[in-house]
Amino acid sequence: MLILQDLKTRQKTWVTPSKKQFQVKPGVVVMKFGEQLRSSIIREYQWYYIDYDDLKADLKNATGPFLNGNDGKQEWTEADETRFVGKLEAELEKVHTKQQVKAMEISRRIAVSEREVRDVVNRLNERGLNETGPTEEEFMLLEEDLSDIIADVHDLAKFVQLNYTGFYKIIKKHDKSTKWYLRPAFETRLKAKPFYKENYDASVVQLSKLYDLVRTRGNPVKGDSAAGGAQASFVRQTTKYWVHPDNITELKLIILKHLPVLVFNANKEFDPKDSAITSIYYDNPEKWDLYEGRLKKTEGAEAIRLRWYGGMETETIFVERKTHREDWTGESSVKARFSMKEKNVNAYMRGELLPPAIFEKARKEGKKSEKAIAEDERLASEIQYSCIKKGYKPVCRSFYHRTAFQLPADARVRISLDTELTMVREDNLDGRKRSGDNWRRMDIGIDYPFSQLPPEDVVRFPYAILEVKLQTQAGQEPPEWVRQLIASHLVEAVPKFSKFIHGTACLFPDRIKLLPFWMPQMDVDIRKPASHDFGIRRPGLSGTTTTSDDEDDEDDLDSYEEDRVAAASGPPAPSRPAGQSNGQSRDSRRDVEDQTRDLPAAVDEAFPIYDSDEEYDDDYELEEARRVGGWHYYHTLITTKGREFGHKALDLLKFVMPAPRSTQVGRSARQQMLFGDQAIQTKKFKAPKGKKIYVPVRVEPKVYFAAERTFLGWLEFSIYIGTIAVTLLNFGSHPTKTSFLVSGIFTLLAILSLIYSVVIYLYRSRAIRERRAAKYFDKWGPSVLCGALFIAVALNFGFEGRERQVW
């Protein structure tokens, strides 16, 4: 593992011993793929992995004439290309065959296990009064067998993902070193043998049903699969996480051992399009009221969206409104929705179809209570009024496949995993008609990855989104397995992540200037080393790794960011399944965010990791002034350059003036174990030029009262000091110049204290009103006050002693 920034020279690239430079962004975690491959090998598949080392060595065996004399590199000939392609075809055939055989084996094992489970459950349900039925040992054997199948699915997914990465990397290395471009032709061969396109969702659903039957000993929880979905409004405590594609399948297999996959229609065979969810988000494209309200989490901030489940042929459309409530209000954020027919959406959004007409049929049928219909009608009226009055229009679409885990009729723990998340523009800005007069564009459906769209119209999110939704009583802890899951290396916590906010910020770069706080993390590899023993384990067995020597080849160093961008144009994988390797080395992956905790001793502890929206940013101010133009721009330019010159002069002065230097303490044993000997990057994330990152700030009413109490405290001390000054001046037995001087010092101290308290109070009050991420602590004020008061008392004591001729 290497962090690409030299902390001594501040170079932006790391120079290898062979004088090669890797053009990778600072902070990106890189490692050798050959090392990763060897450390991830599973015993069952050890003879079926791509022979990456042999293919890489073959690229160095060119047989053509020397290019630059006897010491130069040999030319890559047609014979060399034929030899290499033959080996590559053999490796592809080997991997594809093993994947096909193993997938068929898993399917047969699932089918056999299903018959065995059904047989045991039927015996349990059909037993007579005097019959004992299946024993506990039978259920334990079935559970162990299913756990072994789950481990097989996990290992196969990891095998597929690792080999796909290996083929991609060796092709990239071939094209780079030989200048013979093989990638376009080889992509055709990959499509002919698409071992990487295996979708394990159907297997996950089957295993979930069987494991739930066995885990509950033939008595699964029954009830409405919607689990409260019939209610118009519901409240949940939701926490969101990012999941790297390598960990998606493993995460699903771990969760299904505790919660079954939520299936709304158990009699219908699994269809991938049933898990597709599409939402159209509305906003004012001129003011972006809803975007900024949701980003800043202001009280009453709303989000309006139209959602449907499945394909474009779905007739039922849900109109939803999310309302954010601050904790101090005693209320919780609420999502309310009602359904309507797709054919009526345009008329409703234009105000031509009024809410009473929408619910007229529901009133006649009598399937819902009059109270519920009235609530839906009121919600429909409020949404329609807001859209017409404030000019809300469709701006962004989100699409993803959702796998939900939940006990039927029990919403205490609900976990959903959204994969293939994609955001698409729906607006008619920039002179292009995307949705036109319709409420959604019709040139796309659920055909991920939407390759027919231009790049500026689509953003494919690189991670999956895990949402853990808990409905626990006050003071009740979530289940232990949930706590282990969210603390594991498989997930990266991203509080308050929003698909609407992320999609809008990415799709409208010229119109959105305030970015969410998680945007800088998009350039950081979120994969982490396993922090504790958690994951898929085969009963009684463990994975093995090989011990072959590692070749010291710097060309193997590839960044995740580079691969992610390049792979987007390669063969699409509908489900990028992969698991975290069981035998992965501890130092192979790092979380750069975690490494910022191990900062050098010279770094200021108050130094923020993000630049927030209230900080003065020269680039931002210049960009804004350039848009305005005129004298304002020249004034801002002069001010900015003057401030920059002042900062550089101050830095030079600090460098020249002698000052004590801190001694850097060596790393502890724990830090050495976690981070090794490599240099650790100190990094402050900066927003792009002309933009700012909004740091969420939680403001409650007691914060205002705290600021007032602090001001009154300062005011009280100012009055005390002023009283001391008045006493010395007016009530002395022998007024002298000395007593007048001392009382003047106390008076000046009282005035300065009062002015300081007023300025600080006004600054904090304004920062609280504007929800800034300001520094609300006072680092120097109390210390300076105490020091000045001590000096004043000492001077008074000294002058008074001299007047009394004590010394």
What is d(CA 253, CA 84) in angstroms, rounded to the nearest whole number?
38
Chain CA centroid to CA 541, Å = 34
**Long-range contacts, stretch 539-545, CB < 8 angstroms, 24+ apart:** 539/144, 539/147, 539/148, 539/151, 542/582, 543/41, 543/42, 543/43, 543/155, 543/581, 543/582, 543/583, 544/41, 544/42, 544/43, 544/46, 544/583, 545/38, 545/39, 545/40, 545/41, 545/583
Which DSSP state fits 741? Answer: H
For the stretch 738-752, what's the b/e string if a residue is b when 16 or more beta carbons lie within 10 angstroms of its beta carbon? bbeebbebbbebbee
- The 3-state secondary structure of 198-211 reads CCCHHHHHHHHHHH
Residue 424: which H helix or E strand, with range?
Answer: strand 410-425
Longest distance between any two alpha carbons in the chain, whole Å: 112
Which DSSP state fits 327? Answer: G
Distances from the Cα of 239 to the Cα of 296, 326, 467, angstroms: 18, 16, 6
Tokens read off for 603: 């770094």
Phi-psi sector, 27: left (phi>0), alpha (psi -120 to 50), beta: left
Q: Do the Cβ atoms of 325 and 331 come closer than 8 Å? A: yes
Which DSSP state fits 218? Answer: T
Residues 172, 499, 528, 692: which is the catalytic one?
499
Neighbours of 135 (CB within 10 A): 10
Tell me whether residue 60 is one of the annotated catalytic residues: no
Distances from the Cα of 750 to the Cα of 731, 743, 754, 758, angstroms: 18, 10, 6, 12
Tokens read off for 670: 């724990």
Neighbours of 623 (CB within 10 A): 15
- The amino acid at residue 8 is K
What is d(CA 716, CA 290) in angstroms, rounded to the nearest whole number?
44
Residue 746: which H helix or E strand, with range?
Answer: helix 737-769
Q: Do the Cβ atoms of 417 and 403 come closer than 8 Å? A: yes
Chain CA centroid to CA 784, Å = 43
Radius of gyration of the chain (CA): 33
What is d(CA 489, CA 87) in angstroms, rounded to the nearest whole number?
36
3-state SS assignment for residue 707: helix
What is d(CA 118, CA 220) in angstroms, rounded to the nearest whole number?
13
Torsion on CA atoms 565, 566, 571, 576, rounded to nearest 10: -50
Strands annotated E in 615-689: none
With CA atoms as reference, report the closest residue to 603 among 677, 683, 671, 524.
683
3-state SS assignment for residue 59: coil
Q: Do the Cβ atoms of 586 and 489 come closer than 8 Å? A: no
Q: Residue 192 burial (CB < 10 Å; 0-12/13-18/19+)? A: exposed
Torsion on CA atoms 322, 326, 328, 329, rounded to nearest 10: -40
With CA atoms as reference, report the closest residue to 244 among 580, 469, 543, 594.
580
Write the DSSP string, 667-678. PPHHHHHHHTTS
Active site residue ranges: 499
